[in-house]
Every structure is written in C-alpha cells, then in structure tokens.
A = this chain, B = another copy of it.
Amino acid sequence: MPPSPPTTMQPRKTPIQNRSRVTVEAIYEATIQVLLRDGMNDLTTTSVAERAGVSVGTMYQYFPNKQALVYALNARYLDALAVRIEATCREQSGAPLGQMVEALIETYWAAKTERADVTRALYRSVAELNNDALIHAFAERVDRATAEMFSSARDAVFADVPRANLALVTVIYGTVRNAFERGLSTQAAADLRQDLTTMCRAYLANFSV
C-alpha cells in the first residue's frame, strides 16, 4: 500500500467559486517565482502572498502551512510528468523495444529540460520529510505504465517484467537527474544521452527474440 500524504500536507479547502480558483493559481505561480528568485530558504509566506497579490490569511485558507504549499507544487509537477510518461507509453504500445527506450528517455529528458529553472527550483525545494509519499505514488504510477509498455513489445520476451522495468526506469530517471545536477554543456548532455540509450539497448538485447 502506498503511503498517503500526512493530513497536514493536504490543501485545507478546495476552491469552489471562480474567484478562489484564480487565487490558488496565482499562489502557485507566485511560489515558483519566489523560489526561483530567492531560493527555498528565503521564501517567506509574506513574499509569496505579496507576489500573488493576496494577503497571508488567504494563503492559509488553502494551505495549512508553508511546507504544504511547496509540497503541493511538487505534487503538481510530478503529476504533469506522470501524465506525459503515460502518454508516451500508450503511444509506444506494440512498438519495437529499442524505440520504446528511446521514446522514454526523450520524454524524461524533455520534461526536465524544457523548464530547467523550474526543475531546479523544485529539486531544491525538496527539503521536507514527507515527500516520500509523493515519490512512491509517482514511482508506482510510472512503473505501471512502463511495465505495460515493455510487455507489449513484439520483439522481446521478459522472464521477469518488473525487474527489467525497475532497472530501466531507475537508470534512466537517476541518470537524467544526475546529469541535470551537474549542469552539463549541451554537447556533453547530448553525448551522455546517446550513451544512456546505448546502455539501455545493450541491456535489452538480453531479452530480444
């Protein structure tokens, strides 16, 4: 069973009227901006509220505390990422294995690179204890999608789908993150990406028929 997020991490109330939906959206956007400008440590509730154009009290109607705000932002980001990966997996259903891996790497890579500043800001914001729940939920969702995709490959037979799946997903996700943290040059990043593909393909050759 996946750990559910602690109650203190959940939004205090759900926006009902249109006005409040706009407010919550503004708070999210302001949080990203402040995170990019000041970093996690200098992010104050006041600065977020100010940038969002609302009072602190309003913020606290939707988020029980500062952590919950950042938590919700991460949840949003991971959800968007999961949606994209699921889409890729659906598209690649029944394709040859090598193509699947390339599509998967492409999706991860693009998701991290497109808005690199936001990715970086979020990586930095993950100071909190209780994002374990987030990570697990995300991993479970993505693992399911990719496992199904790999099972559908016409040119391969897996004795142990979950194992091969775990290996691929962990290597790809971990490598992309590490590459990102290193702040590689465009050329180095391109080379690395190609080498990553080579490794995954070499690994998959064990299962091809």
Interfacial residues, chain A to chain B (CB-CB below 8 A): 39-41, 67, 124-129, 132, 135-136, 139, 163-164, 166-167, 170-171, 173-179, 181-184, 188, 191-192, 195-196, 198-200, 202-203, 205-206
Contact = CB atoms under 8 A, between A and B. Distances in A.
B202 A139 contact: no
10 contacts: A41-B128, A125-B127, A163-B188, A166-B188, A167-B199, A170-B192, A171-B196, A174-B175, A174-B178, A174-B179
Q: Is the interface of A mostly helix, strand, loop or mixed?
A: helix
A173 B181 CA distance: 11
A108 to B, nearest CB: 11
Contacts of A183: 132, 136
B203 A198 contact: yes
A191 B163 contact: yes
A41 B129 contact: yes
A177 B181 CA distance: 12
Contacts of A177: 174, 177-178
A198 B192 contact: no
Given A127-B124, A178-B174, A179-B174, A195 B203 contact: yes
Nearest to A135: B181
A176 B202 CA distance: 20
Given A39-B128, A198-B206, 13 more contacts: A40-B128, A125-B127, A139-B182, A163-B188, A164-B195, A167-B191, A167-B195, A167-B196, A170-B182, A171-B178, A173-B178, A174-B177, A199-B203
Contact of A178 (B170, B192, B199): B170
